[in-house]
A and B are shown apart, each in its own frame.
Chain A
Amino acid sequence: MDWQALKLSAELALVTLLILLPAGIVVGRWLAVTHTRFKPWLQAALALPLVLPPTVLGFYVLVLVGGQSFIGRWFEPVFGQTLAFSFAGLVVASVIFNIPFAIQPIERAFEAISPDIRDVATCCGMTPLRSFWRIEFPLAWPGILSASVMTFAHTMGEFGVVLMVGGSIPGETKTVAISIYDRVQAFDYAAAGQMSLLLLVISLLTIVIGYGYTEKIARRRRTAR
């Protein structure tokens, strides 16, 4: 069992979630209420990671953060290491790859709130911020939770993009999914099986807990109608 790789995967999933969740709430809420004519383009761009092969996405991320890129050239002297093939590079890749998993459930949740609810909150004297925290956020909570679960679980198991951008440096970029791949390449099926089972259980539990709680709230709301 490669505990180091498992710990790295969990760290990557947590950092990705911490970055994507606030951004997802802001962008998802904005997309839910905006009437801009560019909305279909924006939605399509944010959904791209769902349809692009991980290698294509990984390649572009590598170009984006590589030593020849603007970001890569700025990052290296400031932090004393390259962005590609580092944990920070993995975070960038993971954030980009998880955008649709974070934003889409949140956008749907905010879309489901009737405009009448927002109007009433305004007419009750609430500022937009107060209306958001007291009314919209609690109502969109199941979608936000669902987005968190999907982002976390998806990052825990991500393989292609991580391999392209991070390689397989133990303690730095070698996540549990890559460790399983390495064990299989080395014909160590016992270790690969153990880690696969553990990853399966963690992913399943995460999703079951998330879905269970979301369903509980949805059931309460269904009765409300």
Chain B
Amino acid sequence: MTLSVRVTHAAPFLDLDMEMPEHAIVAVLGPSGSGKTTTLRAIAGLLTPDSGRVTLEGRVWFDSSRRINIPARRRPIGWVPQNYALFPHLTAQANVESALLDRPSGQRAAIAQKVLAQLHVGGLERRYPHQLSGGQQQRVAVARALAREPRVLLLDEPFSAVDRSTRRRLQAELKRLHEDIRTTMVLVTHDLEEASVLASHLVLLHHGRVLQAGRPAEVEHAPVSVAAAKLLDIQNIREAVFEPMDGMPGLRWGPYRLSCSPPSRAIEPGRAVSWCINAGHIVLHRTDRPSRWGSENPVDCVVDEVLVLGDEAQVWLRPLALPNERLLMKISEHLAQRNRILRSGAVRVSLLSSAVQPLPE
């Protein structure tokens, strides 16, 4: 682990305990007001937390107990704010050179040109920020942040100000850049898809606290709390009783006995617990051919509502034995048509046990 942040702060509220792996792209995901930007500011040294420690590979940047607080200008970080904050009165090259004022003046231009070329904005050195497109401005801002060869690059929602296609292109470029330079990048976002695409380490933040952290696939597949599940946009969150079956973890959900994933921490048998399942992991028993998951947590349902959104069909189901509950299943529109999924029709689905996740916290 390389970047360790253990800090508390009263206003804006932070109570963080997070470790970020070296050379990773770390996505800090959370809703508005969850403390994402404040977290970046605490790492950068732009905010002095009330207490705690910030260290990079054992080197202390901030330690309230020892009264150590390395000023932001001396921390080896690069900072790209949400609106890029290019200096409007300076050209692209002068913007990058602004980060190189501690280098001999004769070297600055060459370094700036090299970094701009690396970010694919070579040739735009003499342009002012207002003469650049949103994507070009973002690249110049990243070039300026990278010019000092920082150990950690901090990016605050760097793709929020560009259109969808530019965003996709810039995300790919950032990923490629990271493969080249291997600098640890901490990226703040409220977009789960963006976090999944870019990050190798995901931190879920809510009300200034870390809900969960780990590899994105693991976090998305196995949220540990209701808040984390909601943040991951999992709509099927229900209540059940934890009841192991033959030594295997299980849930009693009304009359249904569901086998489930092992909980992230021990739960007493008989305890009421929330559980969740991702809408994409509810599998339809196809009428045209049997499914190999047919034996896993089968549930007979009535179709309550079918909503077609582009290529995807969102199917709301009411389990026959629990008519007051609803489950969301997401399947392709093509599959919904082929299996004649219509409102009030009967279907059988499987809740994949590997995706049925108890939420002990």
Residues of chain A at the chain B interface (Cβ within 8 Å): 114, 116-117, 119-127, 130, 134-135, 138-139, 220-221, 223-225
What are 28 inter-chain pairs, A to B, with CB distance below 8 A? A114-B85, A116-B81, A116-B82, A116-B83, A116-B85, A117-B87, A119-B44, A119-B81, A120-B144, A122-B46, A122-B72, A122-B73, A123-B44, A123-B46, A124-B98, A124-B99, A124-B101, A125-B74, A125-B99, A125-B102, A126-B73, A127-B73, A130-B101, A135-B87, A138-B89, A139-B87, A139-B89, A225-B130
Give the docked Cα–Cα distance between A126 and B205 (Å).
31
Which residues in B have their C-beta under 8 angstroms from that of A122?
46, 71-73
Which B residues contact A (CB, under 8 angstroms)? Answer: 41, 44, 46, 71-75, 77-79, 81-83, 85, 87-89, 98-99, 101-102, 128-130, 144-145, 148
Residues of B within 8 A of A223 (CB): 130
Known: A124-B98, A126-B98, A127-B73. A139 touches B88 (CB 8 A): yes
Give the CA-CA distance A130 to B54 in the complex, in Å. Answer: 27
Determine whether the beta carbon of B72 is less than 8 Å from that of A134. no
- B81 (CB) vs chain A CBs: closest residue: A116
From known contacts A124-B148, A127-B73, A134-B98, infer whether A119 and B79 are also in contact, taking CB-CB under 8 Å: yes
Q: Does the CB pair B88–A126 fall under 8 Å?
A: no
A36 to B25, CA, bound (A): 39
User: Do A224 and B46 have beta carbons less than 8 Å apart?
Assistant: no
Is B78's CB under 8 angstroms from A123's CB?
yes
Alpha-carbon distance between A130 and B72 when the two chains are bound, in angstroms? 14
Please give me the residue from chain A that is nearest to B98 by CB atom.
Answer: A124
Bound together, the chains give a CA A35 to CA B44 distance in angstroms of 21
Give chain A nearest CB distance to B254 CB in angstroms: 52
A116, A122, A125: most-surrounded residue (chain B CB, <10 A): A125
Which residues of chain A come closer than 8 Å to B129, judged between CB atoms?
224
Task: Kindly state the separation between the CA atoms of A119 and B78 in the bound complex, as whole angstroms.
Answer: 11
Q: In the complex the two chains form, what is the Cα distance from A224 to B129 in whole Å?
A: 6
CA distance A127 to B72 in the complex (A): 10
Q: In the complex, what residue of chain B is closest to A134 when comparing beta carbons?
A: B98
Chain A residues with CB below 8 A from B77, complex form: 123
Which A residues touch B98, using CB under 8 A? 121, 124, 126, 134-135
Contacts A123-B73, A127-B73, A224-B129 supplied; 19 other A-B pairs, CB < 8 Å: A116-B81, A119-B41, A119-B44, A119-B72, A119-B81, A120-B81, A121-B87, A123-B44, A123-B46, A123-B77, A124-B101, A124-B148, A125-B148, A126-B73, A130-B101, A134-B101, A139-B88, A221-B130, A224-B130
